């Protein structure tokens, strides 16, 4: 029987503020790696901090949940190139050496570029200078750079293992690709939508609510703890662009014994991303009255009380539970 060891904790200070642009489900790809002899480079962009399984080995050596190159016996260093799932402005990195304790790199650096396709002529710009790595640790490093990037090169010096790489920032969409009058999901992460705050996310993170596709399982959604007191749970999203609402989609995929009894929706037209959404200066308007929800089902609501324009949406669920995805279909305002 395998003994699985899981990490003790996770510092969510960056993930609470920004989107992980390098998330696998957003379409991030590893394009090239110099060496991943011991552990595949694709592990870098998988969810979670990774695990450790005692006495598990592959034909090449110890099984590790991360990217690990062999011991370098020549000049140079190892690196990998990845294409971000969504272009964006990068605010910080989480370079996690979780469970890499005698085989972590001495240091890492990150270079970036904005291009359609990486080639031998690509000009790389260093955005994270050479940074010392510690064993078995998250390394949260904030940077100051306002450029939009599409590709990254993670350099490890000279070799070793990194469990996960998270690239935190803000999605930047090329809005010129959206034709006038075309209906889009105004709340989608790929359209710069962002889950800002919520009442509770005990079981799963708020950022799942506007992720691409349908939820893969019950953990791939927004789920709160069981409410034992008065009130109800809620979540506020900023729309990627100010828009007119056409219809709403509430998906309770995989939530069968823990879906909300019902939900309602409100809208706000706000000129700032001020986090004081309960201020009397903010006038939330009803968009959808309380509607019953069903388990493991996509609900469409087309008869709305008001259509906007809105910049922010509040999704209320009664009294608690889990919602896999929330879509706000509409048109961008001129």
Domain shared by 284 and 154, yes or no:
no
- Cα distance from N-terminal residue to C-terminal residue, the chain: 61
147 shares its domain with 185: no
CA distance 135 to 140: 14
Residue 193 CA to residue 104 CA, distance in Å, equals 36
pLDDT in tens, the chain (334 residues): 567 888 778 888 999 899 999 999 999 999 999 999 999 999 999 998 989 999 999 999 999 999 999 999 999 999 999 999 999 999 999 999 999 999 999 999 999 999 999 999 999 999 999 999 999 999 999 999 999 999 999 999 999 999 999 999 999 999 988 888 899 999 999 999 999 999 999 999 999 999 999 999 999 999 999 999 999 999 999 999 999 999 999 999 999 999 999 999 999 998 765 556 766 668 899 999 999 999 999 999 999 999 989 999 999 999 999 999 999 999 999 6
- Predicted local confidence at residue 304, as pLDDT: 98
Do residue 126 and residue 82 come from a single domain?
A: yes
8 Å CB contact between 155 and 108: yes
Decide: 167 and 152 in contact? Cβ < 8 Å.
Answer: yes
- Give yes or no for a contact between 268 and 311, defined as CB atoms under 8 angstroms apart: yes
The verdict on 147 and 261 lying in the same domain is no
Write down the pLDDT at residue 26: 95
Choosing from 171, 191, 216, the residue where a domain stops is 171
Distance CA 188, CA 212 (A): 7
Nearest to 329 by CA among 193, 231, 154: 193
Domain around 230 = 175-332
Q: Are residues 10 and 138 in the same domain?
A: yes
How far apart CA 282 and CA 269 sit, in angstroms, is: 8
**Looking at the structure, do residues 213 and 143 belong to the same domain, yes or no?**
no
Whether 292 contacts 256, CB under 8 Å: no
Task: List, in sequence order, every beta strand (DSSP E) within 97-231.
Answer: 107-113, 125-132, 138-142, 148-157, 161-162, 164-171, 184-185, 194-198, 222-223
| Residue 166 and residue 186 in one domain | no
Nearest Cα residue to 79 out of 139, 158, 164? 158
**CATH number for 196:** 2.60.120.260
Residues 22 and 42 placed together within one structural domain of the fold: yes
- Reported as half-sphere exposure (CB side, CA atoms, 13 A), residue 111 has a value of 13
Same domain, 110 and 165: yes
Q: How many distinct structural domains can be found in the chain? A: 2
Residues 132 and 34 reside in one and the same domain:
yes
By the 8 A CB rule, do 264 and 305 touch?
no
Alpha carbon distance 13, 201 (integer Å): 14
Of the candidates 171, 200, 227, which is a domain's last residue? 171
Q: Which pLDDT does position 278 carry in this prediction?
A: 67
Q: Which residues contact 266 (CB under 8 A, 6 or more apart)?
A: 284, 285, 286, 287, 313, 314, 316
Q: Do both 181 and 138 map to the same domain?
A: no
Q: Are 324 and 210 in contact (CB under 8 A)?
A: no
pTM of structure: 0.91
As given in the structure block, the two tokens for residue 245 are 């609402």
Give the pLDDT score at 179: 87
Return the pLDDT at 280: 62
Verify that 66 and 211 share a domain, yes or no: no
Which domain-ending residue is among 136, 171, 206? 171
């Amino acid at each position: 029987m395998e003994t699985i060891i899981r990490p003790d904790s996770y510092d969510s200070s960056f993930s609470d503020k920004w989107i992980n642009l390098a998330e696998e489900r957003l379409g991030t790809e590893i394009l090239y790696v110099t060496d991943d002899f011991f552990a595949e480079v694709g592990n870098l962009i998988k969810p979670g901090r990774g695990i450790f399984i005692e006495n598990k080995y592959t034909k090449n050596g110890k099984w590790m949940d991360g990217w690990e190159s062999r011991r370098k016996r020549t000049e140079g260093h190892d690196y990998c190139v990845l294409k971000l799932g969504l272009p964006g402005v990068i605010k910080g990195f989480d370079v996690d050496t979780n469970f890499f304790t005698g085989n972590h790199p001495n240091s890492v650096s990150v270079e970036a570029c904005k291009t359609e396709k990486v080639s031998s002529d690509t000009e790389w710009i260093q955005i994270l200078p050479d940074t010392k790595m510690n064993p078995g640790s998250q390394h949260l490093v904030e940077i100051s750079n306002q450029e939009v990037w599409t590709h990254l090169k993670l350099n490890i010096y000279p070799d070793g293992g990194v469990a996960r790489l998270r690239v935190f920032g803000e999605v930047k969409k090329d809005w010129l690709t959206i034709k006038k009058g075309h209906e889009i999901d105004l709340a989608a992460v790929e359209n710069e939508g962002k889950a800002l705050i919520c009442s509770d996310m005990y079981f799963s993170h708020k950022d799942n609510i506007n992720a691409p596709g349908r939820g893969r399982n019950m953990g791939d959604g927004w789920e709160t703890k069981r409410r034992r007191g008065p009130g109800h749970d809620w979540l506020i999203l900023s729309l990627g662009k100010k828009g007119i609402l056409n219809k709403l989609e509430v998906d309770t995929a995989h939530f069968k014994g823990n879906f909300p009894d019902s939900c309602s929706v409100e809208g706000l037209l706000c000129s700032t991303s001020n986090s004081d959404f309960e201020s009397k200066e903010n006038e939330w308007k009803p968009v959808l009255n309380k509607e019953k929800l069903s388990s493991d089902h996509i609900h469409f609501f087309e008869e709305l009380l008001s259509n906007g324009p809105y910049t922010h949406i509040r999704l209320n669920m009664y009294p608690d539970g889990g919602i896999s995805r929330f879509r706000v279909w509409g048109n961008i305002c001129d």
